[in-house]
């Protein structure tokens, strides 16, 4: 018997190389049965509740308060008092200490937050652990640094806080969107009333615990939970000076109409239909990773997702071939499993919306490809999907699907790529894959998108501004630009 045969006897070669489950424990998360609103540093008992679930199992996690107009009014009153009674007049270096504290506590408790984020939202734990949490903490660190340097950021313009900021956020990055909103607002001396999305309130409610731990003065940050009605009550409240909204273009437009003529400041971060453009000189294997990250990251629930792939005709076939092969290796399933690449769809509503658009794609004549994968029986799931043979006019090439669905189109020249990429009502982000630096610069100038990534996709950093053109909204979050919506200038 040879050495090799002997070894095989002892440790037989596995029949298949599938990963063994590697579930993250949920024990670190302590859920309460019922949550109220966090107003003036205290928990306010809700008059009405609804249940929040895990989209991966449909299991009920907790009862959540449905915020009424009275609840919003109390929160705004608490925020106004905190603004007037000290927070807005506190030296920037003092405000910064609280932000630094919050950032450090988020880092210390990051596993707890990551598990809860995946449990309530359905996103893979490796994403909440490696993306959402580090970035949320980084935003607080970054804006802590600006709190005492506003005079230098806007020289000779005498920056002052705006007042009470009403902030409404979506369900795709619950804690991260909270950080994007709260960190610059309080760094500038404003106070906040924030409403998390109806389906994903739990990390925002756990964050209230962090605020208490950091001893943030009561009323500086207030969290009121509920559905769109609660959001509308915040928008309409007379005591709110500024609205920051991230969500659908439809609701964004409705908010803009309601605020017209009120004098309230507004920033809108809305939908997208980003072009990810691959030229024939690009490193194809790298581009495939970028395409996968661009559209399947967070189940495609990403406003800047690279949902339209533009492949240069000469490499269309090998690129699509490689992409399909890569899709076979994506692991779809339990969000709490550390091997999972694609988790659960956030809600039944969102799943139905994805299904409807995919059916429309098939009916209009696009060719669908889905890898083999077994989906869990309970919960909301959608197989990562690629559509080829897509015409520009198809709904799947025009509308935001907000799910793991990619539409592949082709182009011949850079001019044609630009024209097709800009042929959308949106303008949030774009990606360019090419070895040529000059082409990257030229493309970046031509593309009507707030963010253009070159040879990468979905990269975020608190120092760089993010926001859209056209129906993707206006105003920037992140970086120096992210301070401006939270300041007024008495010149």
Interface ranges with ligand NDP (CB under 6 A): 168-172, 195, 197-198, 227-228, 231-232, 235, 246-248, 251, 254-255, 270-271, 303, 350, 353, 400, 402
Nearer to ligand NDP (CB atom), residue 212 or residue 459? 459
* Shortest Å, Cβ 291 to ligand NDP: 20
* Shortest Å, Cβ 251 to ligand NDP: 4
Distance CA 11, CA 320 (A): 38
Q: Which two tokens stand for residue 135?
A: 């970035």
* Shortest Å, Cβ 475 to ligand NDP: 13
Strands (E), 26-101: 34-35, 37-39, 42-44, 49-53, 60-65
Distance CA 131, CA 176 (A): 9
Distance CA 444, CA 430 (A): 9
Nearer to ligand NDP (CB atom), residue 170 or residue 294? 170
* Shortest Å, Cβ 249 to ligand NDP: 7
Chain-centroid distance of CA 38 in Å reads 23
DSSP 481: G
Cα dihedral across residues 130, 136, 137, 141: positive or negative: positive
Nearer to ligand NDP (CB atom), residue 24 or residue 471? 471
* Shortest Å, Cβ 468 to ligand NDP: 9
Spatial contact of 360 and 385, defined as CB atoms under 8 Å apart: no
Distance CA 255, CA 200 (A): 21
Distance CA 478, CA 180 (A): 7
Closest-approach residue to ligand NDP (CB): 231
* Shortest Å, Cβ 350 to ligand NDP: 6
The SS3 of residue 412 is coil
Q: Which residues are catalytic?
A: 269, 303
Q: What are phi and psi of 124, to 5 degrees?
A: -60, 140
DSSP string computed for 115-156: HHHHHHH---HHHIIIIIHHHHHHHHHHHHHHTT-HHHHSTT
Q: Which helix (H) or strand (E) holds 179?
A: helix 174-187
Nearer to ligand NDP (CB atom), residue 58 or residue 356? 356
Distance CA 354, CA 45 (A): 36
CA distances from 33 to 27, 372, 402, 411, 432 (A): 16, 39, 31, 54, 47
Q: What are phi and psi of 39, to 5 degrees?
A: -130, 130
Nearer to ligand NDP (CB atom), residue 121 or residue 219? 121
* Shortest Å, Cβ 174 to ligand NDP: 10
């Amino acid at each position: 018997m040879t050495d090799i045969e002997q070894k095989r006897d002892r440790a037989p070669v596995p029949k298949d190389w599938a990963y063994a489950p590697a579930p993250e424990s949920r024990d670190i998360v302590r859920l309460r049965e019922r949550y109220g609103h966090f107003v003036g540093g205290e928990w306010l008992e809700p008059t009405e509740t609804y249940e929040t679930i895990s989209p991966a199992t449909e299991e009920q996690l907790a009862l959540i308060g449905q915020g009424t107009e009275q609840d919003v009014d109390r929160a705004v009153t608490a925020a106004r008092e905190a603004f007037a009674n000290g927070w807005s007049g506190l030296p920037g270096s003092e405000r910064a200490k609280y932000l630094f504290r919050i950032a450090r506590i988020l880092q210390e408790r990051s596993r707890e937050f990551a598990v809860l984020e995946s449990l309530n939202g359905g996103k893979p734990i490796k994403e909440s652990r490696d993306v959402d949490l580090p970035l949320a903490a980084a935003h607080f660190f970054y804006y802590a640094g600006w709190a005492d340097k506003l005079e230098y950021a806007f020289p000779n313009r005498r920056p002052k806080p705006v007042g009470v900021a009403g902030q409404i956020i979506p369900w795709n990055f619950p804690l991260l969107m909270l950080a994007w909103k709260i960190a610059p607002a309080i760094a500038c001396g404003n106070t906040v009333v924030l409403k998390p999305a109806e389906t994903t309130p739990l990390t925002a409610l756990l964050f209230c615990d962090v605020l208490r731990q950091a001893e943030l003065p009561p009323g500086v940050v207030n969290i009121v939970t509920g559905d769109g009605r609660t959001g509308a009550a915040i928008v309409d409240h007379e005591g709110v000076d500024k609205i920051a909204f991230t969500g659908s273009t439809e609701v964004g437009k409705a908010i803009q109409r309601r605020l017209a003529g009120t004098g309230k400041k507004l920033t809108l971060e809305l939908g997208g239909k980003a072009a990810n453009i691959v030229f024939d000189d690009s490193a194809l294997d790298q581009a495939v990773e970028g395409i996968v990250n661009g559209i399947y990251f967070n189940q495609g629930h990403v406003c800047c997702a690279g949902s339209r792939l533009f492949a240069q005709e000469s490499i269309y076939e090998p690129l699509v071939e490689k992409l399909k092969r890569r899709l076979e290796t994506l692991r779809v399933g339990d969000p709490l499993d550390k091997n999972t690449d694609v988790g659960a769809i956030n809600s039944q509503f969102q799943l139905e919306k994805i299904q409807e658009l995919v059916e429309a794609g098939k009916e209009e004549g696009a060719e669908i490809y889905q890898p083999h994968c077994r989906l869990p029986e309970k919960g909301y799931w959608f197989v990562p999907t690629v559509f080829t043979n897509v015409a520009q006019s198809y709904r799947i090439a025009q509308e935001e699907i907000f799910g793991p669905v990619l539409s592949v189109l082709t182009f011949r020249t850079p001019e044609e790529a630009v024209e097709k990429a800009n042929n959308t009502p949106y303008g949030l982000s774009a990606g360019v894959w090419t070895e040529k630096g000059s082409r990257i610069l030229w493309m970046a100038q031509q593309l009507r998108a707030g963010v253009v990534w070159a040879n990468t996709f979905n990269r975020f950093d608190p120092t760089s501004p993010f926001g859209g053109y056209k129906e993707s909204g206006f105003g920037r979050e992140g970086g120096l630009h992210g301070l401006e919506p939270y300041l007024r200038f008495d010149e």
